[in-house]
């Protein structure tokens, strides 16, 4: 797949056509006064109690690198939809506006602005499609991953989902979003050079099947592999394979070699983990861990933890990378103000709250979130403001935190969740307060 300009995922043509035709109309009408757009989620699906904001780093990268080169302008000229003065304007186009946003890893809720763009109308408009594409997806996955993290009670979680992720970018961004939410790492190799994320690997059933015997496969791998040795034991008979692992570990020990873990990918994982645990406890040397995988959901993980199933780690694939129970969230990027006047949509079921807004969060004595208030920027309230300056006049205000710091922040944020929001099943919902300064403006707009 080759694209004009090479790196097609960063292409300015990765947008909806109407953004560009509206831009030409704004250009023709001289409509370049300041606009304020906000990105927010409208509501949560039944299996989400909160969200984890994510994707800001990719958004900043997009906004600060957004340019139209000759190949892209040629594509647009070829459509016949755009006139030369507008194409010349696009050639000079860059994002010169402000971005305020919740830092990645922040716990957030519906109706709260997660990101606010303040820029000349054409700039704020054009970036809509990719902004939604990035912030929606990474927030979707980080929020899903956080549910696994809360359920797993400190067991190791690894992203195994590349194969069912929706394409290449979904695979690497899911690795990133799940890592920042608390996963230990990913199987997707490319996530290491792209984002500095730890990578993990075991072996496939085909590796076992390609050998004439399972024990021969185990031994070859254990002798040759330079990292932690994880042997897949469910290809034929899981318990028999576990006994072979004990025998192999005994033999290898004399040579100073160790088996780190076994992986079970099918069958009754609770029962098998218990019987395999008993078998493995006979092995000499360091304890051999049990790692499980195979279509696991956060409900499965919570069930194993509650039952005390002896599982040390989980490989999570499809349910994470495709967020299968809720593969899309209801979110929007809406014009709130233009040329100094509040703006709003009144479409049935999709009405919006106008004005430029901030979220103030108050914590209880136990450090947990007590109240969030969405208010106008001009009407500050008690508490910690959640949106912080990220870009001013198109330039970064400071350096964005690296992925390790985002991950620490997210862990700290999860600790501020009211206990009833930390359960896999919904036990309560958190209502965000809309300040009367906002509702008053909505009545007027």
Helix axes 298-307 and 128-152, enclosed angle (nearest 10): 10
Residue in 259, 296, 335, 376 binding its own copies, rule: CB under 8 A: 335
Question: Which DSSP category does 132 fall into?
Answer: H
Using rule CB under 8 A, residue 75 touches its own copies: yes
| CA 198 from centroid of its chain's CA atoms | 16
Using rule CB under 8 A, residue 80 touches its own copies: yes
Consecutive H or E run containing 81: none
Residue in 42, 43, 220, 251 binding its own copies, rule: CB under 8 A: 220
Contacts to its own copies from residues 338-377, by CB under 8 A: 338-339, 343-350
Using rule CB under 8 A, residue 251 touches its own copies: no
Residue in 117, 126, 155, 170 binding its own copies, rule: CB under 8 A: 170
Contacts to its own copies from residues 30-59, by CB under 8 A: 31, 35, 37, 58
CA dist 298 and 216 (Å) reads: 35
CA dist 114 and 386 (Å) reads: 8
339's torsion region: left (phi>0), alpha (psi -120 to 50) or beta?
left
- Closest CB 312 distance from its own copies, rounded Å: 18
Per CB under 8 A, the segment of 99-107, 112-120, 222-230, 386-394 that binds its own copies is: 222-230
Q: What six digits make up the tokens of 169?
A: 């970018």
Q: Give me the 252-291 binding string for its own copies, x by CB under 8 A, dash otherwise.
A: -------------xxx------------------------
Consecutive H or E run containing 47: none
Contacts to its own copies from residues 146-165, by CB under 8 A: 160, 162-165
Helix axes 238-253 and 269-280, enclosed angle (nearest 10): 30
Using rule CB under 8 A, residue 406 touches its own copies: no
Using rule CB under 8 A, residue 327 touches its own copies: yes
Using rule CB under 8 A, residue 415 touches its own copies: no
377's torsion region: left (phi>0), alpha (psi -120 to 50) or beta?
alpha
Using rule CB under 8 A, residue 443 touches its own copies: no
Question: Which DSSP category does 435 fall into?
Answer: P
Contacts to its own copies from residues 3-22, by CB under 8 A: 3-4, 6-11, 13-22
Residue in 46, 77, 79, 285 binding its own copies, rule: CB under 8 A: 79
Using rule CB under 8 A, residue 328 touches its own copies: yes
Query: 10 Å Cβ neighbour count for 220?
Result: 12
CA dist 247 → 209, 232, 242, 287 (Å): 20, 15, 9, 14
Q: Give me the 190-219 binding string for its own copies, x by CB under 8 A, dash otherwise.
A: x-xxx----xxxxxxxxx-xxx--------
């Amino acid at each position: 797949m080759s694209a004009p300009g090479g790196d097609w995922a960063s292409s300015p043509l990765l947008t909806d056509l109407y953004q560009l035709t509206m831009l030409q109309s704004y250009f023709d009408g001289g409509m370049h006064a300041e606009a304020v757009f906000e990105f927010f989620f409208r509501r949560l699906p039944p299996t989400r109690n909160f969200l984890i904001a994510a994707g800001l780093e990719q958004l900043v990268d997009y906004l600060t690198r957004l340019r139209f080169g000759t190949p892209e302008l040629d594509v647009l000229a070829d459509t016949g939809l755009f006139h030369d003065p507008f194409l010349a304007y696009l050639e000079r186009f860059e994002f010169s506006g402000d971005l305020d946003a919740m830092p990645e890893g922040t716990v957030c809720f519906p109706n709260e602005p997660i990101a606010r763009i303040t820029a000349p109308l054409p700039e704020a408009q054009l970036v809509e499609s990719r902004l939604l594409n990035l912030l929606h997806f990474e927030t979707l996955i980080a929020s899903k991953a956080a549910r696994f993290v809360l359920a797993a009670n400190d067991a190791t979680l690894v992203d195994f989902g590349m194969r069912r992720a929706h394409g290449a970018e979904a695979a690497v961004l899911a690795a990133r979003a799940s890592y920042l939410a608390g996963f230990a790492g990913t199987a997707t190799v490319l996530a290491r050079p792209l984002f500095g994320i730890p990578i993990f690997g075991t072996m496939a059933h085909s590796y076992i099947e390609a050998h004439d015997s399972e024990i021969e496969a185990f031994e070859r791998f254990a002798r040759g592999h330079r990292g932690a040795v994880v042997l897949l034991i469910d290809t034929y008979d899981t318990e028999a394979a576990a006994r072979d692992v004990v025998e192999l570990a005994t033999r290898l020990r004399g040579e100073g070699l160790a088996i780190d873990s076994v992986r079970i990918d099918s069958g009754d994982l609770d029962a098998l983990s218990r019987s395999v645990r008993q078998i493995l406890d006979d092995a000499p040397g360091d304890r051999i861990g049990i790692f499980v995988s195979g279509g696991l959901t956060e409900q499965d993980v919570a069930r194993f933890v509650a039952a005390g199933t002896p599982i040390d780690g989980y490989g999570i694939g499809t349910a994470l990378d495709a967020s299968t129970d809720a593969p899309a969230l209801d979110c929007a990027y809406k014009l709130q103000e233009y040329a100094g006047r509040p703006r709003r949509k009144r479409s049935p079921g999709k009405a919006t709250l106008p004005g430029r807004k901030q979220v103030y969060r108050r914590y209880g004595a136990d450090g947990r979130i007590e109240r969030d208030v969405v208010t106008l920027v001009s009407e500050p309230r008690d508490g910690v403001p959640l949106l912080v300056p990220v870009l001013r006049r198109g330039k970064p205000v400071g350096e964005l935190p690296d992925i390790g710091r985002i991950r620490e922040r997210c862990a700290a944020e999860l600790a501020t969740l009211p206990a009833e929001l930390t359960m896999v099943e919904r036990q309560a919902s958190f209502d965000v307060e809309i300040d009367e300064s906002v509702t008053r403006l909505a009545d007027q707009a």
